[in-house]
Amino acid sequence: MSEAVQPLLSVRGIRKGFGGSPVLTGVDFDLYPGEVHVLLGENGAGKSTLTRILSGVYLPDSGRILRQGAPVTFASPAIAQESGIALLHQEPLVFPDLNVAENIFLGNQPRKGFLRQIDWKEVYAQAEARLADIGVSLNPRTPMKGLSVANQQMVELARALSQDAKVLILDEPTASLTPSEVGDLFRIMRRLREKGTALLFISHRLDEVFAIGDRITVLRDGDMVATVKPQDTTRDEIIKMMVGRSLATLFDKEQAKLGDVRLRVQNLTLAGKFRNISFEVRAGEIVGMAGLVGAGRTEVATAIFGVAPAESGTIEVDGQPATIRNPQQALKLGLAYVPEDRQKHGLLLPAPIAHNVTLPQLRAFSKMGFVDRKREASAATEITTRLKLRGSRGVQQAVGELSGGNQQKVSLSKWLLTQPKVLILDEPTRGIDVGAKAEVHRLMTELAQQGMAILMISSDLPEVLAMSDRVLVLREGRLTGTYSHEEATQEKIMTSATQSFEEATL
Ligand SMILES: Nc1ncnc2c1ncn2[C@@H]1O[C@H](COP(=O)(O)OP(=O)(O)OP(=O)(O)O)[C@@H](O)[C@H]1O
Ligand SMILES: [Mg+2]
């Protein structure tokens, strides 16, 4: 990329606010053909808002967008699309009831004949070709519903590319991918870069930023801090730019005293999902559960919590046999489960933060059948302040208006407030920025020290290694490895998870 090349897309002085609170306060930057430009910033910094402006979802309040030097107005996503801009959303935007091919074409299906009827043969043939193009082998007739997040994302990517995008914006595409899936995505991104596509890439994982980025732009509180090249900077410098101060990225776990076994599962089996899973978690212990997406980790968690109970096997809580057929029973026994997918499970997006956070224990916050709003608000304020949740309007703001990472913090707050004996966390720091991540880790350590038993599912290997007293590895629904904190290494975990470690590294 030489300086003589004209940027494909530029923004100048972009401002945007919601309901009087400024979110972007004058952003300038250029996106060149054939570069991977990384956009970094804390949760709520304004990254997704900027991507939505670039893709015609929002109009800026002021400022200009230039396409190859010429001013453009992206008044709608369709107009941006026609200019060759494609956006991969932070949460995959797919239609679960349609199949893969229908999701790729979404209304643009190839048609034939005088009546312009959908040419299904052509639809499936082209869908297959587009998937093959990005190296994905998926039957285009598969219903979207059952696909892993990684595959849903691949379908979204195939859709974006079928529109012949010149600019591809990827808003945290790797948040729920495993290392090998990230590797696949990066291969595709590199190929597109070679073809001259301009890529804008958002991620909270700094390793990825250095692995794939040609340039890095840091956004802080809606303001541009700087644009740098990875070879001219360091992790620490980048973090300093993001949060405005130095910060230890990984929280040093302190060992808690281990107490009695709080949760014991034996031979837990659910046909087609997992088989003969046995393990225990003690008071004060953090047990990490690693494995590839689809290995059955979430299924084990939801079985224990009673969402989709196991067919056979036993669960004991505090030494007592427990029958858990639904989440209410689990809650009563002192279990809590923070799900991976905040959008689908458990958050009422139109409702205020305060209400969402106190939802599992409405009774505790009610007096004679009425919710005590003041207590609700003060409890919510306390826990969300602790997690550094950042919205523009305090705990009365609707959860749906929060940035992705901040929604995740609401989900965490909600279950922490129930003060469970056994806390099951499914990807607790997915989509959470470096500062808040350290905060979540500190909190987990504190909770363990107070005697909570924590089961943490995570695809983030540094997190698993740093936080777990013991690591369990699942592969295809079976427990394939157990390592103590001292024994566990990235290589051992990946070997247990995949067989072949080479394939799974970036
Ligand atoms: N529709 C909306 N109404 C009100 N406020 C909004 C709306 N959309 C975004 N915001 C606010 O704008 C700010 C920036 O949000 P944005 O989603 O751009 O952050 P982000 O940098 O993408 O964060 P994350 O890393 O968590 O995804 C947040 O404070 C958010 O609450
Ligand atoms: Mg975002």
Q: Where are the domains of the chain?
A: 9-243, 256-334+420-434+441-506, 347-418
Which of residues 43 and 371 earns the better pLDDT score?
43
Whether the per-residue pLDDT at 187 is higher than 50: the answer is yes
Whether the per-residue pLDDT at 66 is higher than 90: the answer is yes
Q: What pLDDT, on a 0 to 100 scale, did the predictor assign at position 368?
A: 76
Which of residues 377 and 294 earns the better pLDDT score?
377
Contact 313, 268 (CB under 8 A): yes
Q: Which residues pair with 215 in a beta bridge?
A: 37
Take atom 27 of ligand 1 and give the residue whose Cα is closest.
404
Identify residues whose C-beta is under 5 A from ligand 2, the ion: 47-48, 90, 403-404
Whether the per-residue pLDDT at 506 is higher than 60: the answer is no
> How many Å apart are CA 158 and CA 164, to the nearest integer?
10
> Quick one: average pLDDT of 16-31?
91
Helix/strand/coil for 365: helix
> Quick one: average pLDDT of 311-327?
95
Strand ranges, E, within 320-466: 320-322, 335-338, 366-367, 370-371, 422-426, 453-457
> Quick one: average pLDDT of 119-130?
90
Contact 437, 387 (CB under 8 A): no
CB burial string 417-434: b at 16+ within 10 A, e below: bbebbbbbbbbbbbbbbb
Take atom 18 of ligand 1 and give the residue whose Cα is closest.
46
Take atom 8 of ligand 1 and give the residue whose Cα is closest.
401
In the DSSP assignment, the letter for residue 97 is T
Amino acid, single-letter form, for residue 108: N
> Quick one: average pLDDT of 60-77?
94
List the structure tokens of 355.
Answer: 């209400």
pLDDT band at 360 (very low <50, low <70, confident <90, very high): confident
Please choose, from the candidates 100, 423, 47, 76, the residue with its C-alpha nearest in 3D space to the C-alpha of residue 262: 423
Whether the per-residue pLDDT at 77 is higher than 70: the answer is yes
Whether the per-residue pLDDT at 2 is higher than 60: the answer is no
Residue 293 CB less than 6 A away from ligand 1: no
> How many Å apart are CA 429 and CA 458, to the nearest integer?
8
Q: What pLDDT, on a 0 to 100 scale, did the predictor assign at position 429?
A: 87
Q: How far apart are the first and last CA of the chain?
A: 24
> How many Å apart are CA 177 and CA 9, to the nearest integer?
28
What's this model's pTM, rounded to 2 decimal places? 0.78
CB burial string 232-241: b at 16+ within 10 A, e below: ebeeeebbbb
**227 alpha carbon – ligand 2 mean position (Å):** 19
**474 alpha carbon – ligand 1 mean position (Å):** 35
In the DSSP assignment, the letter for residue 363 is G
Q: What pLDDT, on a 0 to 100 scale, did the predictor assign at position 366?
A: 79
- Closest ligand relative to 19 C-alpha: 1
> How many Å apart are CA 129 and CA 140, to the nearest integer?
10
Whether the per-residue pLDDT at 1 is higher than 60: the answer is no
Q: What pLDDT, on a 0 to 100 scale, did the predictor assign at position 246?
A: 59
Cα–Cα distances (Å) from 76 to 52, 69, 216, 498, in that order, read: 10, 20, 27, 43
Residues 433, 231, 501: CA angle, nearest 5 degrees: 65
pLDDT band at 342 (very low <50, low <70, confident <90, very high): low
Whether the per-residue pLDDT at 19 is higher than 70: the answer is yes
Whether the per-residue pLDDT at 503 is higher than 50: the answer is no
Residue 23 CB less than 6 A away from ligand 1: yes
Which of residues 506 and 350 earns the better pLDDT score?
350
Take atom 3 of ligand 1 and give the residue whose Cα is closest.
401
> Quick one: average pLDDT of 390-418?
86
Please choose, from the candidates 107, 219, 208, 244, the residue with its C-alpha nearest in 3D space to the C-alpha of residue 163: 107
pLDDT band at 117 (very low <50, low <70, confident <90, very high): confident
Please choose, from the candidates 82, 159, 407, 41, the residue with its C-alpha nearest in 3D space to the C-alpha of residue 50: 41
Q: What pLDDT, on a 0 to 100 scale, did the predictor assign at position 309?
A: 95
pLDDT band at 307 (very low <50, low <70, confident <90, very high): very high
pLDDT band at 468 (very low <50, low <70, confident <90, very high): very high
CA atoms in the 13 A half-sphere facing the CB of 189 = 27
> Quick one: average pLDDT of 291-316?
92
Q: What pLDDT, on a 0 to 100 scale, did the predictor assign at position 344?
A: 62
In the DSSP assignment, the letter for residue 143 is B
- Closest ligand relative to 353 C-alpha: 1
Structural class in CATH, domain 256-334+420-434+441-506: alpha beta
Query: Which numeric CATH code is attached to 9-243?
Result: 3.40.50.300
Please choose, from the candidates 124, 187, 196, the residue with its C-alpha nearest in 3D space to the C-alpha of residue 157: 187
Q: What pLDDT, on a 0 to 100 scale, did the predictor assign at position 10?
A: 95
Q: Do domains 9-243 and 256-334+420-434+441-506 have the same CATH topology?
A: yes
Residue 405 CB less than 6 A away from ligand 1: yes
Task: State the closest ligand 1 atom to the C-alpha of 172, by its place in the atom list counted from 1.
Answer: 27
Task: State the closest ligand 1 atom to the C-alpha of 390, by its place in the atom list counted from 1.
Answer: 29
Q: Which of 401, 408, 410, 411 to mutate to test the pocket of ligand 1 (most atoms within 8 A of CB)?
A: 401
Amino acid, single-letter form, for residue 110: P
> How many Å apart are CA 485 and CA 255, to the nearest integer?
10
> Quick one: average pLDDT of 405-427?
89
> How many Å apart are CA 288 and CA 267, to the nearest integer?
19
> How many Å apart are CA 260 and CA 264, to the nearest integer?
11
- Closest ligand relative to 393 C-alpha: 1
**462 alpha carbon – ligand 1 mean position (Å):** 27
- Window from 16-30, 32-46, 125-139, 246-260 with minimum mean pLDDT: 246-260
